Amino acid sequence: MKWVGSIFLIFLLNFTESRTPHRNEYGIASILDSYQCTAEINLTDLATIFFAQFIQEATYMEVSKMVKDVLTAIEKPAGEEQSAGCLENQLPAFLEEMCHEKEILEKYGLSDCCSQSEEERHSCFLAHKKPTPTSMQLFQVPEPVVSCEAYEEDRETFMNKYIYEIARRHPFLYAPTILLLAARYDKIIPSCCKVENAVECFQTKGASITKELRENSLFNQHACAVMKNFGLQTFQAITITKLSQKFTKVNFTEIRKLVLDVAHVHEHCCRGDVVDCLQDGEKIISYICSQQDTLSNKIAECCKLTTLERGHCVINAENDEKPEGLSPNLNRFLGDKDFNQFSSEEKNIFLASYVHEYSRRHPQLAVSIILRVAEGYQELLEKCFQTENPLECQDKREEELQKYIQESQALAKQSCGLFRKLGEYYLQNVFLIAYTKKAPQLTSSELVAITRKMAATAATCCQLSEDELLACGEGAADIIIGHLCIRHDTTPVNPGVGQCCTSSYANRRPCFGSLVVDETYVPPAFSGDKFIFHKDLCQTEGLALHTMIQEFLINLVKQKPQITEEQLGAVTADFAGMLEKCCQGQEQEVCLAEEGQQLISKSRAALGV
């Protein structure tokens, strides 16, 4: 997308270089300069989050030592005044403390970072963050008896250990979210410890916390990856779309101010700057709540909540209704002005205002669709103002912008049609075959996990109204594809995936849709070991059986990515026949060995592998 890369650059001058009060060249004051911090800040928990996320394999004792040392270092000297609890720019102190602990860094392979300059040192530590360290097991809350006793004896330490365990397993999860979910967990412990069936109580009440933890971790990692790979300006283009959809009555000037600060807070959070992430986020929410009468009528209840809760509530609040009298379309939005005569800055401001106006008229559309429309609109203007009659050209071609919405609607209709016809499992198999062809370099478990999420998305979104369907499907696809791109960043998949992941944020989903078969992939030599069938195929049920069958499909497609639907249909029919025959007999293992060999021989001959 041409304009996204620079659209907000003019709004950012000098901002990211300094935390001192500022105004940019358009006189837009930052909310962050005018709102005070809350005094309700637990530095021990914040420091625990920081060290646990950056040195994920460190023990609780090691993290606690670093927390104690850094708090001593940044403790406010007696008599020094600080604005309402604000602790700005503490990141260097945290980084310095890590580098002070040479033995710990050496133990976990991070010591090389400290030989670099401050900014490079920070980037080095960030690069070592791993979504799920292989050496770390899933966190299990201790048995209720043990938990309840430990909580009662020392609630503060118990909750700090919980924060440590969550933070080290979710290194990209924003600090305010960790504190919020920890606070919710803190509330359920006393009630669950009093009931007879404490295990069931913890499982039931803790399920929603676990779900939010997993979802928010994915969202935060995705947001940070978008910012890293496409730049802060692209992230701001996304933000202006979301805020304009949520606060539909707000003018462009106010939205522009919010965008400047919201994106800056995300930047702090993605950098692991836990203090500024929390404090600056609270400032923005305080400002939004103070202006709720003019911003939105959907957030009144949110603003009555605790400091931690209201931010989460505002973010997830419904979009405001479209204001009365808003024209249904933006035909001739530019008027008779010559777009090609605009300066670069004027083009950026105009296109930003177009996104704002389009978004508030279409709060039901996914962000990526709106950004595709904006890109199309820019191309339209550039071409029309090279013609003899630009206005007539605009009138004819503005209708073409509907193609971006229609393409998404057609895809949603197709996916939901398949879902209703096939069901979730068989729809997953359709996705599985397609993505094995697109990215055969992925492991079986990766392909199964990705396509299971795709099928689950269809199961959820296809139940919604037509207005809600597009945003649901496109939004979920953006997250799923985004995490595939994060995987590609770590270990490159193939050139096609790389092109889709890096060329355009707005067009990532259509780009993946256009991929068919990776022509660079060379199938491995045939190995019979991947096609040996055992009696557990007959004895397994549900998800485990489905996964076994899917692994067979993956291995088959990886052997010949150009396999046709007819060939695949014939092989799967033979496979189903083999199961039906062998699973009804007594000698299942012998039958599967014999019939399996015949199946593979027949399939190899048909496929030419």
The annotation places the binding site for Zn(2+) at 273
What amino acid occupies position 574? D
Q: In the numeric block, which tokens belong to residue 302? A: 């949110």
Which residue's structure tokens are 């067009």? Answer: 507
Q: In a 3-state reduction of DSSP, which class is residue 577? A: helix
Q: In the numeric block, which tokens belong to residue 454? A: 């795709």
Q: In a 3-state reduction of DSSP, which class is residue 19? A: coil
User: Strands, DSSP E only, in 420-555?
Assistant: none
Q: In the numeric block, which tokens belong to residue 119? A: 């900014």
Q: List the beta bridge partners of residue 349.
A: none
- DSSP collapsed to 3 states, 288-316: HHHCHHHHCCCCCCHHHCCHHHHHHHHHC
Q: List the beta bridge partners of residue 23.
A: 29
Contacts of 46 (CB under 8 A, 6+ apart): 175, 179, 274, 275, 278
What amino acid occupies position 570? A
Contacts of 576 (CB under 8 A, 6+ apart): none
DSSP letter at 112? G
* DSSP string covering 84-99: GG---S-HHHHHHHHH
Q: In the numeric block, which tokens belong to residue 592? A: 């599967």
Four-CA torsion 163, 166, 167, 168, nearest 10 degrees: 120
What amino acid occupies position 485? C
Residue length, the chain?
609
Task: Measure the CA–CA gap between 150 and 124, rounded to whole angstroms.
Answer: 37
Q: Report the binding-site residues.
A: 273
- DSSP collapsed to 3 states, 360-415: HHCCCCCHHHHHHHHHHHHHHHHHHCCCCCHHHHHHHHHHHHHHHHHHHHHHHHHH
Short-list 385, 419, 151, 172, CA closest to 272:
172
Is 317:297 a contact under the CB 8 Å cutoff?
Answer: no
DSSP letter at 587? -
Contacts of 509 (CB under 8 A, 6+ apart): 368, 474, 477, 478, 481
What φ, ψ does residue 521 adopt, rounded to 5°?
-75, 130
Task: Measure the CA–CA gap between 377 and 246, rounded to whole angstroms.
Answer: 22
Handedness of CA 80, 20, 93, 227 (dihedral sign): positive
Q: What angle do CA 540, 546, 547 make, to 5 degrees?
A: 95
Give me the half-sphere count of Cα atoms (radius 13 Å) on the Cβ side of residue 466.
5
Element (DSSP H or E) covering residue 2:
none
Q: List the beta bridge partners of residue 29.
A: 23
Is 411:379 a contact under the CB 8 Å cutoff?
Answer: no
